Structure 1
Amino acid sequence: MSKIAIVTDSTAYLSETLREQNNIKMVPLNVVFGDEAIQEEVEITASEFYERMKTTEKLPTTSQPAIGLYVELFEQLKRDGYEAVVCITLSSEISGTYQSAMSAADMVEDFDVRGFDSKISCSPQGYFVLEAEKLASEGKNIEEIIAHLEIMRNKINAYFMVDDLNHLHRGGRLNTAQLFVGSLLKIKPVLHFVDGKILPFEKVRTEKKALQRIYNLLDEGVAGKTNVQVTVIHSNRLSEAEKIAEELRAKYPDAEVGISYFGPVIGTHLGEGSIGISWYVA
């Protein structure tokens, strides 16, 4: 049985406990305040980040991991007796992390590293990671794991709404006119990933209506299905996320409903107060 390591980056936002339990290796991205680059999930937690955002005048930026971090990790895994690695990253359309990982793979001789561009991020990226680890522990080979992850793509959905359009505007997701009109009308855009990019799905006038729209999409996706995983994702709105999760557990008693978060790197682009729901129908 080949020994295959599963590697991901910090934007899957899998807890340290969960990573340790499942022997998942993680490489952190950075959130940058001025000249200070901080590794998310290692040097700063999500709650510390949102606290700092309240007192910072200039909004932070983000950066991908240094190639050297991936090289070090792959070489260590090779020394530890692993024969291959499946490396799952956030969408290559919103970060250069996938390219960094693949460049690092080329620098490690005689070691099979297969990259998988999740074309998404946050908890849906985590679905791929946990499934890959499960398959590796069952003794599946690297081709079987990658093939299974490709099939999973069509079974994963995620929709989210942002509280403040300024972050999306600054990140180039909205033009100035859209920002002005959106802010004036208090529009809460419902967003999703299309071909790895974050795009508006619908513009909704209020948060309540935006959430209701996401609930309707969830219902269309999972009603009558078994083996469903649902995750409520939040930007520093834990009590609201818990309330939504309770409602969903009552509505879908057979589904596994969990809570995750938009950490520093993704939170930089979405802003505090964002709420999302992702689901995976196995």
Structure 2
Amino acid sequence: MKIAVVTDSTVFLKDDYRRREDLFIVPVPLIIDDTMYKEGIDIHVDGFYDLLNNAKTFPKTSQPSIGELFELYDNIAKEGYDAVVSIHMSSGISGFISSLKSISKEVESVNVYPFDSLLTSGPMGKMVEIALEMVEEDGMTPDVIIEKLTEVRKKVEGYIVVDDLNHLVRGGRLKNGAAIIGTLLKIKPVLCFRDGDIILSEKIRSQKKALNRVEDIVLNEIKSQPQDSSFYVIHCNNLEVAKQVEQSLLDKHPTLDVVICDFGPVVGTHLGEKAVAIGVAPKN
């Protein structure tokens, strides 16, 4: 069986995986001042935050059109693939995966297996990498890949420190009601993913203390052991602080697998400039 892997443009992938012929990336639309952009095609991290900060109206993200999805899957079928494992950003921050699940059975040209990563960016990229490695194994089936990804997902974590809660509040992506309190108190909250939703986990007074707390959580309080994990320091136009977090992690555990990456425009729209996150996924 020939299996392709599909993901969306909010993913972070290392270049050797991104160049794979059996990987297909769906661009996610972003609307700024009535102009629609497609992430990774006509809008990139470079220059995005200037657009975001100068936008006259609050930017909106959208879902790829159903027609585009059907066309993509049909084209994949024409390339000789029998099945597609389609791994996408959390259902808690986008309705995309829910829409895909509802229409996947209507695709006649190829069998589509949707998978909700419950996160995005680097940790989702790790799931994509695992799927791409598995499709190369003789006799592999989509069901086995989905089963493996489900087990990996149980050990994936994501913690975020945002500079300004307004983006999450206005975009409706923060699920618990403490956001307004956070804004009034000028705190730097620790947010986390829970069952795919972004929720307020702890309230801390400064970004430095909040990031130190996140480091402590990912090194000491999650299911995966540090030596068995890949760490992603993910930022929204805040590379200097991301490098500081990376160094702090390595100071505590010099052999850690740490990668710095950025959130793309779609997730950056919801988190706002200067947000920094640490994502954790099992190495293998």
TM-score by length of 2: 0.90
Query: Which has the higher mean CA deviation after the structures are superposed, 246-255 or 264-273?
Result: 246-255
Q: 1:110 to 1:71 in 2, by over 3 A?
A: closer
Which residue in the other structure is 2:202 paired with? 202
The secondary structure found in structure 2 opposite 1:32 is strand
Q: CA deviation at 1:171?
A: 1.9
In the TM superposition, structure 1's runs of 4+ consecutive aligned residues that sit over 6 Å from their partners are none
**Residues 8, 88 of structure 2: 8 Å contact kept:** yes
> Whole-Å Cα distance in 2 between the matches of residues 59 and 241 of structure 1?
26
The answer for the alignment partner of 1:217 in structure 2 is: 217
Aligned length: 280
Secondary structure in structure 2 of the residue aligned to 1:163:
coil
Residue type matched to 2:83 in 1?
A: A
Q: How far apart in 2 are the matches of 1:135 and 1:255?
A: 24
More helix as a share of residues: 1
SS in 2 for 1:11: coil
The Cα of 1:248 is off from its aligned counterpart by 2.1
How far apart in 1 are the matches of 2:257 and 2:31? 35
Q: How much does 1:50 deviate?
A: 0.8
Q: What is the alpha-carbon distance in structure 2 between the residues aligned to residue 264 and residue 17 of structure 1?
A: 22
2:235 pairs with 1:234:
yes
- Using the TM superposition, give the Cα deviation of residue 242 of structure 1 relative to its aligned residue in structure 2, in angstroms: 2.1
**1:16-35 deviation digits (Å, cap 9, x = unpaired):** 66411474210011110122
Alignment of 1:1-282 (within 5 A): 2-14=1-13, 18-21=17-20, 23-139=22-138, 140-173=140-173, 178=178, 181-220=181-220, 221=222, 225-281=226-282, 282=284
Identity among equivalent pairs (%): 40
CA-to-partner distance for each residue in 1:163-186, whole Å, 9 max, x for gaps?
Answer: 0121122123569x9555423422
Q: Is the CA contact 2:122–2:261 (under 8 Å) kept in the aligned structure 1?
A: yes
Q: Distance in 2 between matches of 1:67 and 1:174?
A: 26
In the alignment, residue 145 of structure 1 is paired with which amino acid?
Answer: I
Residues 187-207 of structure 1, C-alpha deviation per residue, up to 9 Å, x if partnerless? 111111111111111111111
In structure 2, the gaps of 5 or more residues are none
Deviation of 1:103 (Å) = 4.6
**Residues 127 and 208 of structure 1: is their aligned pair in 2 closer, same or farther, counting only changes over 3 Å?**
same
Q: Secondary structure, in 3 states, of the residue corresponding to 1:204?
A: coil
Contact 2:178 2:200 (8 Å CA) reproduced: no
What is the RMSD computed on CA atoms of the aligned residues? 2.2
The alpha carbon displacement at 1:271 in A equals: 0.3
Report how far residue 138 of structure 1 moved.
Answer: 2.5
1:65–1:100 CA contact under 8 A, matched in 2:
no
Alignment partners' CA distance in 1, 2:223 and 2:143: 29
The secondary structure found in structure 2 opposite 1:12 is: coil
Bigger mean CA deviation after superposition, 101-110 or 237-246: 101-110
> Are the counterparts in 1 of residues 187 and 205 from structure 2 also a CA contact under 8 Å?
yes
Separation in 2, partners of 1:174, 1:4: 36
Give the Cα separation in 1 of the matches to 2:47 and 2:275: 17
Q: 1 CA distance for matches of 2:117 and 2:48?
A: 25
Conserved? CA contact 1:227–1:254, under 8 Å: no
TM-score (norm 1): 0.91
* Structure 1 spans left out of the alignment, 5+ residues: none
Q: Match of 1:6, SS?
A: strand
